[in-house]
Structure 1
Amino acid sequence: MTDEALHTNGPAGDAPAPRFVGRRRELKELRDDIARTGLDTLSGRKAKAPRARVLLVAGRPGSGRTALAEEFARQTAEDYPGGLLRTRLTAPGGERVPTERTARELLEALGETTPPGAGEDELTSLLRQALAGRRALLLLDDAADAHQVDPLLPDDPDCLVVATSQGPLTGIPDVRPCTLGGLDTPAAVELLTARIGSVRVTVDPRAAETLAEECGGQPAALALAGGWLAAHPKAAVADLAKQLHDTPTDRGPVARAFRLLYEALPQPAQRTLRLLPLAPAGVVDAHTASALAGCSVAAAQSTLDDFAGLALLRPGADGQYLVPGCLAPLLRGLMEARERTAELQLARARMLERTVRLLTSCRTVTEPEGSPARGRLAGLPRALRFPDAEAAAAWLESRLPVLTAAARMAVADGELDTLARRLVAALVRALLAHRGTEEAAPELYGLHGLVLDVAERRGLHRERAAALLNLGDLDHGTGRTREALDRYRAALDAGRAAGDPYATGRAMESVGGAYQELEDWHRAADWYGRALSQTLARGERADEARLYGRLGSVHTYAARYGEALRCWRASAAGYRRLADVPGQARALSEMARVQEYAGRPEESLHTCRAAVDLARRAGDQRLQAALQVRMADTLDRLGDPAAARLHRATADRLLGEDPVAYEIRSGSG
């Protein structure tokens, strides 16, 4: 959320649950706007709007627009059983959040899987499908313009969208803004009382009204003024009102109140506050503040708690704090004016290094007890260690948006590319350890793209090849085979430029796999052959056996059975030399399939029996059952139904009546 505060905390030492103050007229206006007849209905074009109703809360940062939208959502949530979805459309630094990222976040909040690498159109279409018939409430905070909101609107009139913005959303029909000014004086005084208690307000109610006027009724300014008074328990309300009045009037009330509160802080706290704009996504925790300021984690936690009590930060979930959007430009201005560039670079480096160490600890805790990695983990400071894998996974999930924002920020910075690469690599490993490849694929796609950006900027051919191969694999896995083929070809060029035979061979094999997926058997065989030639030159026997198998599969699909048999024989021989019994069994099973296709049933039976013996030694019951069924089919064709029944009965005893178990899959993968 963007703005400080109509949700307020009590005075220092007595913090009741946040409560909402004022804005009764605006709340009623928003409720009435839900049922208001639309322009389409008035003109007789439609009986019901085809899209969700959009309500707009418009106001300057600090006016309490987000708090009003949240309160309205809280009051109407029961009418929308499909759930409340929140997202922020503008980053703390003022940059627009890409619609693709917003749609992905909303889909994940709905529990929907998102294809890795999907573009904006595909993701917004999936979002509309997921919201169809759901009757959900969407809160889109801090929209820059209608172009950010329009793609996210559900095609369901039973849904409701509440957007906050600084101005109108020109381009979205039938939207009337609920424009916010300052709070009226009684509500402003009530907000101030909630911050500092009733004693000083009761003693001098006129001074409280004057202070509210000096703050322009702006909730953020009132919250900051309340923070100053809470930090100065002996100061009178009139004293602060006079100081605000004497502050230059060219600044707005929020800036004036912030300046007074900032100048009252100790020097170390001032510096910590100035460095907070470096925090990714405007979210800071004790570790981030500790690394930025170069202090202990305990001292940073205490400072953050003090900032939250002064309304300089807003408490979030799981020990995280959010920089209010109305304060972000003020803090950035202070940082740029007071901090040297070299000091800022050092603070960024410390923050990224701390993040890398936390991610390494998060991954290492999943290693087995007694492993060397766990031994190294024990040597880390206690603050950087997680008690168990569950705690590490919970930390990773709660921090993932911030961690990905840190990776994007590090790559965009361009001055800390080594740290950026280490950060991305650590985040990839942590995601793989806790989520696995398939579940983490959407995040991995973006991270590999960041690695590619750094590699291209720095001319790192080996890293570029690796990133392109990873992105190609993810494209291939989601059916974008043409895109994957382009990635693999680019990876081949990068591997050759790096002089890396492994990357080159891997790229050749992947190009062959893409052509195989496209059923271009001739090109697939050609590229597999190139990869095999390179592997033979390096003497890598395991890769040789696998590539012979892939060539055999392609020749089988192309009905070139002679070539296929030669390749499968070579593959089986390779696995035999490696003492890989399961691999040899599967190669022989594929060889039997080709012999059957080639019209040589007796040879197929002989090969099947040899494969069954190997599958039995390997303990692969599924393969044994599949081979028994194959032998039964062959015996039927040879006119021996009795023997065929015996083999089918054997297959049934192995795995029961499961037709999936009887399928022999190609060993090409």
Structure 2
Amino acid sequence: MRFLVLGPLEIDDVGWSVESLPSRQRTVLAMLLLQANSVVPVDQLVDAVWGGSPPRTARSQIQICVSQLRQRFSAAALYDVIGTRPPGYSFRIQHGQLDLDVFRSSVEEGREAVKRGDLEAGARHLRSALLIWRGDAFADIESEKVESAATFLGEQRIAVTEECLEVELQLGRHNELIGELSALIDRYPFRERLRAQLMISLYRAGRQAEALQVFRDARSVLQEELGLEPGPELRELERAILVADPVLEPAGGFSALNASAVSLAAPSVPRLLPTTIGDFTGRRRQLAQLRRRLAAHTDDPGARRLAPAIEVITGKGGIGKTTLAVHLAHQLSEEYPDGQLYVRLQDSALKPVPAGEVLETFLRALGVTGKEMPAEVEARAAMYRDRLAGRKVLLLLDNAVDEGQVLTLLPGTTSCAVLVTSRARLTGLPGAHHSLLHEFDDEHAVELVENVLGSDSRNFDGAQLRRLARLCGGLPLALRIAAARLAAHPHWTVPHLTQRLSDETRALDEFTHGSLDIRDNIALSCQQLPTQAHSLFRRLALVEAPDFGSWVAAGLAGTGVTEAEDILDTLLEAHLIEVEIRPDVAPRYRLHDLIRRYAREQLEAVEPGRERDAALSRLLGACLFLAETAHGREYGGGHTMLTGTAKRWTFEASEVENILGDPLEWLERELPTLSSMVLRACSLDEHELAWSLALPLITLYESRGGFEEWRRVHGAVLDAVTAAGNTRGKAAMLYSLGTMHVHKEDFPEAELLLQQAQDAFAEVGDELGGALAVRNRAYLARVRGETESAMTGYEQALVALRRVDDRVGQAHVLNGMAQIRLTQERFDEAAGLLERALDVAQLTNSRRVNAQIFHRFGELHLHCGRTEAAAEAFRNALTEVREAGDRTGEAFSLHGLGLVHLRAERHADAEEVLGHALTLATQSMQQILSARILVALADVHCSEGRQLKAARDLATAFSAFVRAGATPWQIDVLKRFHELPVAESEAVLFSVLADRVLAALPDGADPDVEVHARALRRRLAG
């Protein structure tokens, strides 16, 4: 199968004609083939199809085009030919399938043969390359972007044609070439090299007069059309023909490619590079890569060189693109002895410099006088390429706006090299290599400051300079300005400057010195933004998290996620935002700190207050909608979740699926954004939204821990709803913070807060909230050993939860009741309660609840001596919690499996599993669970004859049970201590550990605890 682009677009052996495709699909296919095996950004495809006026749905329509093309290729058994890779698509193709690749390979083989002196082989390969062409490249594609690339390929074609003719002239085939050259001149009347080759062919064929007539025709055409005289090469060739110079014979070695060698006047050698800076810092790796690639283009005989070397250096404003490019250009100046050209492609008003002006500047530098200068842009471009042909010239095109600016200025010869700097990515430049510059790390940032300060840097502390570097965000321009300000104010200290830079209200005012200004630099990047992109850029200042997803942009912009991604791509192109691609996770975007400050200034100065408030309201509503949806997916619906009346901003179902993925992972990833939005709602007195958004975060806190964040955020909301007199919101936050203290095992504080929450829920008539508070208080009673009180509370909660049809809450309560019956060894009742809990839970498909019930079944089986059944139940629980990423649940499940190993006397396995469980429980700050695991480890030690180790673990566990007020487990530890067999040689150490246990007893301990404590004291006394 072959793909043909050098002529009308065709594909062999697919069973359908490219002509049958709609115009839009043909354009997309052409763009993909033009950059085969490389990623073509969606923005380029949009630009190719619609130019500068795409519809709002352009990105979606491109996706449809690609999908339809894939269907076409699948019908021809090409299933993976079009791949998806951010930020676009790639067309996968093998070498030799694309005629453009074959053309380039044949040309390279021909050039290598000529280089070896094998002219016959060289001519054969070059001719083969030219015969591949069937007409103009992409001849039937109507797209300015494709046509621009086709023009570039056409320049390569005619340049190779001239090379081939030159080799054939050296082989003495002048008679055969006259007709071909005459036809080519009709098509390319301004190609002076073709006229020179025809003149030589005619002269060698004995047709001297006709050769001179070719010169006169050239002069006439150039004067009439362009107002120019023939170049020095043609003039020198005319002189040589007039005098019948022997050098014109084949043996004389004269050729159109070296005609300038006999010219009396040496060509002009331009030196336009600006001065490089003396304190250039860093970028060593990038410099080495750039030099290595440029050297490979020139020296590697295996490289394909049909076009000049093109290196594009991109990055945000102030990152040092021009500084690097100028420094590199000076390093390379001796390797390009025929000159260095430089132009800044934006004028002082920050507008693109017209191509005609740039070409005039370059042509004058190349020796073209005023009367020779063509008036038309195309004529200037042709003369420019002609003047550069065969010469080693380095071009530096600084601050390019887009690919079109650069394409016009590319030379047609492989001997030149082009350096381009741009804030845009310029991924549409064929054959270009791209280098994206990032901020300096601390080491290079401090080095730059020290280089600017010179000897003065010795007066400053290294740690202070690193703090300064971080406030500059590692941005070279900001670092240079800060260092210059220090140098200009000898009485300033680094802490003084860092204090000024830390002031959010005036930070950007500090980043200005002379002609250097951060604010102006960022404004330059914003100048070309479309209105919608500029608006979103300003609104991103409302996001206080370190990074954000595209759904955040959708809320701020008031669009769908796909449209928001399109706008974000525009900001990426301008390097106003950055993107991080992680495996299996949607892209994460961020703003550099200084750019964020500029966006905030623009938000306050430009964005109407009404629109700013509406954008923030949409974002808050989007956060609430997605957080509640994530909770619902984790719990199989809106169970155990209190909802307020705040306004939600919803997404389409397909968008929600793409956004959320794994709910807990999404909550964890977005926690900084969600927490900041909760606090923002508090500051705006949006107290109803604040508590509604804060509550779903419990889903993550319970699974991942994070008690400090829980306390900080929900404590702030409690203050806000209390101040606003929002009783239901206050009840919800009291319930949340009480639940937090339950998980922290600070039971007295938990009891107080949950009682207050229960009273507040009763005040507003919230039956669900009251039932949840009663349920958690019943758990506290169970932990304290107050089983009857706990059972009463659970039954009360169960009745209410049935009335409001909260099935997850019911399953929780039934599970708690089963635990009480297990403790009382009423196993049949426990089993019945667990069966009912499982029936209810499976209606919700809640992994978390299922895991808790499986765990309780494991305990039941263990109590009844069914170790295999217990192991299966604990493993089922472990699977559920690991899939949910619930580390606390994993600790519980491993504890259960450790008990199974212990019961089966697999002591080594038990010790390993329990050790892992203890690590997870400690990390999750689960002190009661940690203590229970220590009790199990004590049993392992006892079984292995390590009595003192057992005593140490029991002593540690007892202290934890006392702190938690867990009476039943205190009694259990005291029993074990009393019954622990100890050798006479270990009696002293055992007594020390027993004394430690007794010393941990609180004043006024439970009477049952005191009974067992007295028994232990009697043992020690005996």
Normalising by the residue count of structure 1, what TM-score does the alignment of the two structures yield? 0.44
User: Greater relative contact order (Cα 8 A, min sep 6): structure 1 or 2?
Assistant: 1
TM-score (norm 2): 0.31
